[in-house]
Amino acid sequence: MKRDLISIVDVEKDLIALLELSQSLKNRSMAGQISESLKGQSLAMIFEKPSTRTRVSFEVAMTELGGHALYLSTADLQLGRGETIADTARVLSRYVDGIVYRAFKHQDMLELARHSTVPVINALDDLEHPCQILADLLTVKEKKGEMKGLKLAYVGDGNNVCNSLLLGCALLGMNMTVGCPEDYSPDERILETAKRIAAQYGGGVEIVEDPMLAVKGADVVYTDVWVSMGAEKERRRREKAFRDYQVNSQLVSAAKDDCIVMHCLPAHRGKEITDDVFDGPHSVVLDEAENRLHAQKAVLVHLLGGT
């Protein structure tokens, strides 16, 4: 039976093991050890939206694991000319061992997964970004050690990254507070699920409007763009709504002295995060970006390698 990674909750039972595998693959890679566990395997990567980190890290991950990745923009596929998602999934499943998909709509992600006979990995859609959150949790673990009980404050738009973070933090018994304007709070159903999971694992979820209150005493301060891909028409309205939600040095000073600052990137410097914070001593954004590679290797080995 094939396994997919559409939501971070799909790896609920394997989350700790995946983080450990990510760390051990990272250590091996740092030591110059080569593991060709996916030798001869191919990965199709369908992108409806641009990408730097996700595309490159998946491609490099496949190369380093001895396999091969094919980058497929929708403009180059018959998908762009009206072939259905279902038929695309059925055909690609005859050629490749896994499909990475970056989609505009979560429904399209589900449709591809439903008709594919090989694992489908969500490389971001309008609801979730699970691969990002695996790398984020790996980064928090590296920097902070024990995860349970840590406070992560997410400031800004309650978007796909925020949704997956809510679920991921809940699964590890962390406390997550979202500081966002009322009209931009996270998905209601995700929020309900995150609260239920957090209660089960001893963590907590809180939504507040005041960004200062959100970051108070936080171990991790996290932000993302105010205008996600696909929301460009709302730019002016969003920039106005989020004006008071910038992660700047004043906001960071309300968090713990040893807090780390995270951002999934790409960042819009001077908007959701200032230059001095992005480049400052609390920032771990480049380690976080690097960890995309190690965490995704673990996902590929887990889903394609049959571990």
**Which C-beta is closer to ligand NVA: that of 104 or that of 201?**
104
Question: Token digits for 110?
Answer: 């589900």
In whole angstroms, give the CA distance from residue 178 to residue 156.
8
Strand partners for 155? 179, 223
Give the nearest distance from C-beta 195 to ligand CP in angstroms. 26
For residues 86 and 88, give the distance between their C-alpha atoms in angstroms, rounded to a whole number: 5
Considering CB distances under 5 to 8 angstroms, the limit depending on partner class, which of ligand NVA, ligand CP, none binds residue 225?
Answer: ligand NVA
Active-site residue, 258 included: no
Query: 198, 133, 201: which is closest to 163 by C-alpha?
Result: 133
Of 37, 265, 287, 290, the residue at the interface with ligand CP (CB under 6 A) is 265
- Residue 124 touches ligand CP, criterion: CB under 6 A: yes
* Active-site residue identified among 41, 53, 126, 132: 132
Span of 80-88, 177-185, 242-250, 262-270 interacting with ligand CP by CB under 6 A: 262-270
Nearest to ligand CP of 26, 53 (CB atom): 53
Of 79 and 267, nearer to ligand CP (C-beta) is 267
E-assigned strand segments in the chain: 42-47, 68-73, 98-102, 120-122, 151-155, 175-179, 204-208, 220-223, 260-263
**Rounded alpha-carbon distances, angstroms, from residue 12 to 7, 134, 152, 186:** 9, 11, 19, 20
Residues 47-86 that bind ligand CP (CB under 6 A): 51-54
Task: Tell me, yes or no, if 200 is annotated catalytic.
Answer: no
Cβ-contact 70, 101 below 8 angstroms:
no
The option from ligand CP, ligand NVA, none interacting with 305 (CB < 5 to 8 A, set by class) reads none
Closest residue to ligand NVA in the complex (CB): 228
Q: Which region, judged by CB under 6 A, interacts with ligand CP, from 5-13, 210-218, 248-256, 261-269?
A: 261-269
- Could you tell me the two tokens for 183? 């009209």
Select which of 53, 264, 294, 302 is catalytic.
Answer: 264
Q: How far apart are CA 69 and CA 304, in angstroms?
A: 13
Provide the minimum distance between the beta carbon of 141 and ligand CP in the complex, in angstroms, as a whole number. 18
**Which amino acids are annotated catalytic?**
102, 129, 132, 224, 264, 292
